[in-house]
Amino acid sequence: MYGNETITTTTVNRVRLEPVDRTALSTYGEGKDDKYLLIWDRVHSTPATFKQLDKVTYDGVVLTVREVFRASDEKGLHHLEIYLT
């Protein structure tokens, strides 16, 4: 911890975690180091917030949030696509 930072740990359930296809990454530029895509659903997933540089632990491996994409539909936010490196 540095300065006034605090660490909040949240367990999130009912999400989808997909390994990123390494062969599809060569044309993605900065996305080339992504290891997983985490899909958080507004309705079904445990309430949580995600922002760039947050840490996510999966199966004992600590990953970093590279980008959070808000996928919306006519009702507003549908799900988040969280790119993890």
Integer Cα distance of 70 and 40 in angstroms: 10
Cα gap 85→63, rounded to integer Å: 6
Read off the DSSP letter of residue 74.
T
pLDDT classification of 4: cutoffs 50, 70, 90: low
State pLDDT tens for residues 20-45. 876 555 555 555 688 999 999 999 99
pLDDT over threshold 70, residue 73: yes
- Cβ atoms of 39 and 50 within 8 Å: the answer is no
Nearest by Cα to 77 from 50, 56, 55: 50
